[in-house]
Structure 1
């Protein structure tokens, strides 16, 4: 069956010489007898190479694509002639004629004789063949495709091979990179190419794109693939086929430290939008070569705007977190109460230990790390490195002595997580008399092992499977923000009210621009105030419900991921359209 939908049957039979060697294939089709080689077989196959030899003589870098394997002479000649080049020429062969291939044995024979140098394609659909050839072309540097069409095959299936030859010839006349430099932001909805990972937020972005009707496509990536040829090939294929207006990533995932991706995006004329929802200074620390005029940085923490601009980024924008009210929504019916007070969060015990093992800090830093973390947690400085330089210059020298970027980054993270560990523990002291339910890692058992007051432990909760149903079953959802974000609000402040639940959170400087204090959010500034507010709202269910309802109204109006995606799209259009 060929691609056009009609069945073309033919019978193929071998033609042997006196020594029993295959010299031709005789094909019976449409009441006619045709020969692949005929009397001028070797000379005919030699003429297939004329255009390739001319290109080679000009010094042109082309990728030969044989349409029909024939008797294999031309394919073998080309491969042999380039076998000793610095970069041996790869070859593609498009041949779907299985009855003939069964006789010649060329598919298996060529692959065995020239391992790794041949792409053999036999799909009945020419569009699928062209897509595979484009990926192959990308993998080999984007050189023009040069069709080498065997006359026998052009006659054998005129609906398949001649259109392929025309398409390949047309693509060969256009520079590959020119195909990628198309006008951007000309459509009503910008087209997003998403670099995807297991990070929870990407699911929210995808769902928002679907609801908004935003065209999007994924390039999946594993951590070990960052900067690899496989990732670059995926990206280029998506650019050619999908023609996005920009690439979107979270926390710079997919951006390699060496700057390969940013150089590639510059060559493509394709902007990058990177939304940081974790401390960018604990990530960009390692990326000295990724500052680009085509990179727009979005941060959930307004405190980072100035320092990100100091790194050299021109396009830096505030984009706070939000929630998906389709996932976090009030239950349809009454739920069984689970706790008066509950806290969901990591103890940071194991995170501190892990970073300590990576950082391997010298003794002066190691013996004082808890003191450093306590002071850093209370200080207005957002960077551990700058904090050491201004407050502990004697220790800053030991920090700079760490011999790799990874060790310095690990030490900064270690201090940040230790500051968070101490802070969360101090906040929880305010509600420990209320027998709180604490959901998180096993480090809480270590942290609170000496506290005589009763409390209950719950294992870690899944963000998607557990939290939407957890928040509405708690009277007061207690929140203590990480010290990686000293002024911003975290995810819980949006998720819990969206689920119809009340949240008592620590006061953050940026909170008042997102919610009306007292009416839409209740915040404490000390463990003592946390105790007072928690006790009050445990008893006052009407007040809890009123504040939670007001917060949810605000969230639906201003703080959903649909709104954030729309804001990001408009910013990218204004910046790069």
Structure 2
């Protein structure tokens, strides 16, 4: 019995409604075996024998939740000679004997069900591939390239711990990547992703790696819930997650995350080789701020998000009292629930970012006449005329010189991370500089007696703090204590060791 062509809809595992496109072009093929195995029947089971007539002994697997949502005529149209098998019956041996046809949209509908099955069929050879040679350096995959966030720091740190670090190149889809092919040649111990770099929205690559016995670790350097707006599967709950801000641990666990750990930022002093760059030659008596006026692609990310104008006065009043209307405060104020999978969380993030932009500008306006800003041209619009605004400096180039030679460096912490910190909290001290920073709960990883000396709560306190701690004697004593602490306990070597300890490697 043939069903009439029509667009059937399905509610996905994360609650979205999507249509089911029909036709043979919506199936791909794996292998060339005598048997035929369908991973999902799609919207027209009765037409499959017509679309794919050349292979005999037809088997199929279907997702129970998908079946439950299908109309009666869909069930009635399944050919009588199609044999249903259970998911656990899909073994590497069976996959090798079959021509596998996968309904492509299934991974978008029920990725938790289909991801492991697709991985078994896509990599049926893995049981015959020998494990890594235990006498050689273990392999770690760090997706991306040298220009990516923290790539160089992590590369150095993992190599120092004995790993061979390789960089698989990411594509738009897992099938665009070299990873399935590379898995036939090497078996990495760890796939370490920064901000989900190299991982797809639906978890296909995650399940391939898991099938290969690779541990997948994801370090959310930025706000995890901003990152998760681009993830449409629950696979992330099975990965080993690390967050720079421990406030996010409980919300992530409440959404099902099984392994979440605090991993703050750190310093990599070996990367700051230039301490005498000409751009820093006249900073000996200056208070320096280095940073963007807003994060890249902010407008695109928050497109369509409305401002919570009614709550803005209360946020400004809190800033005036030295309090932090941060991301956590905005999620409560806007009654955001749940944090995922919908994108409602972006409004809280937008308001936290607007709060941070206002905070940074106010602090810079109160920083005094000896302020120098290295950043984008937008600072010229945001700040008073006459402020010394200079072009950005290269992070791995002149920045170390700027930090080391300035009288002091100024830091404002983004409210997007309620208990987070910035690279400045580590880098400035590591190169021998002096940091003034706003008070944030994340500083509790440091000794309170050191933190008290360098923090302010209101913009009006910045100049007085600068005058008090910037004299050479105070600067030398305080700087030495902070530098010794950072280099002993807060480098990327320590962070990588923490990761390996969590992964039991």
TM > 0.5 between the two? yes
Contact 2:158–2:165 (CA under 8 A) maintained in structure 1: yes
Residue 550 of structure 1 pairs with residue 481 of structure 2: yes
Residue 415 in 1 paired to residue 351 in 2?
yes
2:333 corresponds to which residue?
A: 387
Aligned-partner SS, 2:328: coil
Residue pair 2:217, 2:242 contacting (<8 A) in 1 also: yes
Equivalent residue in structure 2 for 1:204, among 148, 153, 158: 153
Question: Which runs of 5 or more residues in structure 2 are unaligned?
Answer: 1-30, 38-49, 56-93, 99-122
Alpha carbons 1:520, 1:550 under 8 Å: kept: no
CA distance in 1, matches of 2:188, 2:318: 43
Looking at structure 1, the residues matched to 366 and 412 of structure 2 have their Cα atoms a distance apart, in angstroms, of: 11
Q: Classify 1:370/1:353 alpha carbon distance in 2 versus 1 (closer, same or farther; 3 Å).
A: farther
CA RMSD of aligned residues (A): 3.8
Does the 8 Å contact 1:359/1:411 carry over to 2?
no
Report the Cα distance in structure 2 between the residues aligned to 1:344 and 1:518, rounded to whole angstroms.
Answer: 22
TM value normalised by structure 1: 0.60
Matched residue, 1:194: 142
Pair 381,57 (structure 1): closer, same or farther in 2 beyond 3 Å: closer
Instruction: Report whether the alignment pairs 1:359 with 2:304.
Output: yes
Alpha-carbon deviation of 1:387? Answer: 3.3
Aligned position for 1:442: 377
1:272 offset after TM fit, Å? 0.7
* Deviations 1:33-66, CA, capped at 9 Å, x for gaps: xxxxxxxxxxxxxxxxxxxxxx9895389xxxxx
1:455 aligns with 2:399: no
Residue of structure 2 equivalent to 1:163? none
Q: Which has the larger radius of gyration?
A: 1
Which structure has more relative contact order (CA 8 Å, sep 6+)? It is 2
Provide the rounded CA distance (Å) in 2 between the counterparts of 1:330 and 1:230. Answer: 39
Query: In structure 2, what is the Cα distance between the partners aligned to 1:286 and 1:210?
Result: 31
Give the 5 Å matches for 1:187-266: 190-197=138-145, 198-221=147-170, 225-231=171-177, 234-266=178-210
State the SS of the aligned residue for 1:446: helix
Choose the corresponding residue for 2:398, options 466, 484, 488.
466
Kept in 2: contact 1:349–1:421 (CA 8 A): no
Tell me the CA shift for residue 385 of structure 1: 4.3
Q: Deviation per CA, 1:255-297, whole angstroms, max 9, x where unpaired?
A: 2222222332333332210011111111113424133564100
| 1:59 equivalent among 20, 31, 35 | 35
Say which of 236, 239, 242 aligns to 1:298. Answer: 242
5+ residue gaps in structure 1? 1-54, 62-83, 90-140, 146-173, 391-395
Q: Which residue of the partner structure matches residue 336 of structure 1? A: 281
Asked whether 1:429 is paired with 2:365, we answer yes
Deviations 1:397-442 (A, max 9, x none): 9x99xxx956x465444323211101112222331x2330011112
- 8 A contact 1:298–1:318 mirrored in 2: yes
How far does residue 179 in structure 1 lie from its aligned partner after superposition? Answer: 3.8
* Structure 1 residues 528 and 329: CA distance shift in structure 2, 3 A: farther
Alpha-carbon shift at residue 520 of structure 1 (Å): 9.3
The normalised TM-score by structure 2 is 0.68
Instruction: Find the partner of 2:212 among 243, 264, 268.
Output: 268
Partner SS for 1:517 = helix
Which of 199, 202, 227 aligns to 1:283? It is 227
In structure 2, the partner of 1:490 is 422
Please state if 1:565 is matched with 2:496.
yes
Q: Report if the CA contact (8 A) 2:331-2:345 is conserved.
A: no
Matched residue, 1:148: none
Q: Is the 8 A contact 2:174 2:204 kept in 1?
A: no
Check the 8 A contact 1:209/1:562 in 2, yes or no: yes
Is residue 322 from structure 1 mapped to residue 250 from structure 2 by the alignment?
Answer: no
Structure 1 residue 379: Cα displacement = 3.2
